Amino acid sequence: MNQAAEFLNPYRPGAGHMPPHLAGREREFAEFDRLLDQDVILENMVLTGLRGVGKTVLLDMFRPRAVERGWRWVGTDLSESASVSESRLATRLLADLSLIAAGLEVPESKPGVGFSPPGAERRTPLTFDVLGGIFQSTPGLVADKIKAALEFVWESLGRQEHRRVIFAYDEAQNLSDYAGKEEYPLSLLLDVFQSIQKKGIPFMLILTGLPTLFPKLVDARTFAERMFRVVTVGKLTRHESEQAILRPIEDAQCPVRFSDESVGTICDESAGYPYFIQFICREVFDIFIQQAAGGGRSAVPVDPIQRKLDADFFAGRWARVTDRQRQLLWVIASLDHPGDEFTIQELVARAKELLDRPFSPSHANQMLAGLAQQGLIYKNRFGRYSFAVPLLGKFIRRTYDRASVLG
């Protein structure tokens, strides 16, 4: 049996999958470590970036660093269902608090816990139901009830060694306020954590999400600009990309080797985005294994890999947009530098050059807002727009010509 064929493919493209070698990210780790040193929480973290840059992986890597430094850690994905109302967000926080409180016991005579006769100091585990009782028995708004539950857990931790807690939530761009329904879960979360942190309770918030996240926080509460340290996760440098490509097979001592030419091709085609590096390397590894078994020459087959990437990653997103939205996206992809930020004025001007039926500024603005809701475009705080999906412009340019887009 060929020796190379015995090695499993080490590369792991996928949503939130830990790569075999995490290249770069020293800056992000240093910033996180700095926040861990806070005694009084003055800054929380927003970890943001495009899809495929490794935000979820970084969040997973942060956890053991925090635990090693004496922090407790709770959190999960903020699904849309958990973000649509204040009560659902409260349930999410109470569930996380119950994990912190696991193993703690409190007197039954505490308000909201129960009643025990004088002199009989009976104690009960601090469960989700007990926290729910504290929540329900606290007068006031939902924010007052959540703060009471948070403060109760903090007091119950007493003299325990590890009293600092991180609440970490991925996909936090799903959080929104809904004025029409009089539901403000995003504002609620910000108000609650600002309040307890002002009281000196070391409960820190980490929110991870797309670049739309931080503008939403500031729109909800202007103090969010001072409450968070924004860490933007970008693509890897050339050297970091090379390490992400080479280290997995070197560490596994696999006889399959990528030539300098192959590594350069993968760097170019992935543009330094970690997901694309993993995707391309996984395909190349499988191909090289077969070529090694057959004694063939190993070369990166760019076209078939691109076609598979288009089908697996881009095509589903493209299929969900309307014909008119496709025209708009095609115009964006036809800008001089589509991977950079652009303005509505630049978009409208290019549309006049390319389309028989161009877009007015108001129509373009409306359509961009719709594409932002679909996660294809995002708007920064300065009124400029960008693709929210890495390399989407290249996909559009190589896959759809003028005739196919314009019908």
* Average of per-residue pLDDT values in the chain: 85
Q: Is the pLDDT of residue 406 over 80?
A: no
Task: Indicate whether 119 and 224 sit together in one domain.
Answer: yes
d(CA 131, CA 110): 11
Task: Indicate whether 66 and 177 sit together in one domain.
Answer: yes
Q: Which of 192, 208, 232 is the last residue of a domain?
A: 232
In sequence order, which residues have a C-beta less than 8 Å from that of residue 47 and are 6 or more positions away?
Answer: 28, 55, 58, 59, 206, 207, 208, 209, 231, 233
For residue 251, being part of any structural domain is answered with yes
Specify whether the CB–CB gap between 373 and 210 falls below 8 A: no
Task: Indicate whether 190 and 131 sit together in one domain.
Answer: yes
For residue 314, being part of any structural domain is answered with no
Specify whether the CB–CB gap between 219 and 186 falls below 8 A: no
Question: So what's the pLDDT on residue 381?
Answer: 67
Specify whether the CB–CB gap between 234 and 352 falls below 8 A: no
Task: Indicate whether 64 and 123 sit together in one domain.
Answer: yes
For residue 310, being part of any structural domain is answered with no
What sign does the dihedral 95-97-99-103 (CA atoms) show?
negative
Task: Indicate whether 261 and 202 sit together in one domain.
Answer: no
Share of the chain residues as helix, strand and coil, in percent rounded to the nearest 5: 55, 10, 35
Specify whether the CB–CB gap between 276 and 269 falls below 8 A: yes
CATH of the domain at 50: 3.40.50.300
CATH of the domain at 361: 1.10.10.10
Task: Indicate whether 223 and 343 sit together in one domain.
Answer: no
Phi then psi for residue 48, to 5 deg, are -130, 160
For residue 313, being part of any structural domain is answered with no
d(CA 160, CA 167): 18
Q: Which of 245, 265, 300 is the last residue of a domain?
A: 300
CA angle 280-284-290, nearest 5°? Answer: 155
Digit-coded pLDDT (tens) for 179-208: 888 888 999 999 999 999 999 999 999 999
Digit-coded pLDDT (tens) for 64-95: 999 999 999 998 877 666 667 888 899 999 99
d(CA 199, CA 11): 46
Q: Is the pLDDT of residue 264 over 70?
A: yes
The string over 145-175, giving b where at least 16 C-beta atoms fall within 10 Å of a residue's C-beta and e elsewhere, is bbbbbbbbbbebbeeeeebbbbbbbbbbbbb
| DSSP H helices in 105-223 | 128-137, 142-157, 185-198, 213-220
What is the number of other CB atoms lying within 10 angstroms of the CB of residue 391? 23
Task: Indicate whether 50 and 153 sit together in one domain.
Answer: yes
For residue 316, being part of any structural domain is answered with no
Band of pLDDT at residue 119, cut at 50, 70 and 90: low
Q: Which of 232, 247, 270 is the last residue of a domain?
A: 232
Residue numbers of the domain that contains 375: 321-406
Task: Indicate whether 59 and 111 sit together in one domain.
Answer: yes
* Overall average pLDDT of the 112-123 stretch: 58
Q: Domain count of the chain?
A: 3
For residue 309, being part of any structural domain is answered with no
Specify whether the CB–CB gap between 385 and 342 falls below 8 A: yes
For residue 9, being part of any structural domain is answered with yes
Q: Does an H or E element contain 309, and which?
A: helix 302-309
Task: Indicate whether 296 and 261 sit together in one domain.
Answer: yes
Q: How far is CA 91 from CA 80, 83, 126, 205, in A?
A: 14, 10, 16, 17
Question: So what's the pLDDT on residue 403?
Answer: 57
Task: Indicate whether 273 and 145 sit together in one domain.
Answer: no
d(CA 169, CA 14): 19
For residue 197, being part of any structural domain is answered with yes
Digit-coded pLDDT (tens) for 279-324: 998 888 888 777 665 555 567 788 889 899 888 888 888 889 999 9
Task: Indicate whether 283 and 364 sit together in one domain.
Answer: no
Supply the DSSP symbol for 14: S
Task: Indicate whether 219 and 255 sit together in one domain.
Answer: no
Specify whether the CB–CB gap between 347 and 335 falls below 8 A: yes
Specify whether the CB–CB gap between 154 and 201 falls below 8 A: yes
Specify whether the CB–CB gap between 148 and 135 falls below 8 A: yes
d(CA 333, CA 385): 12
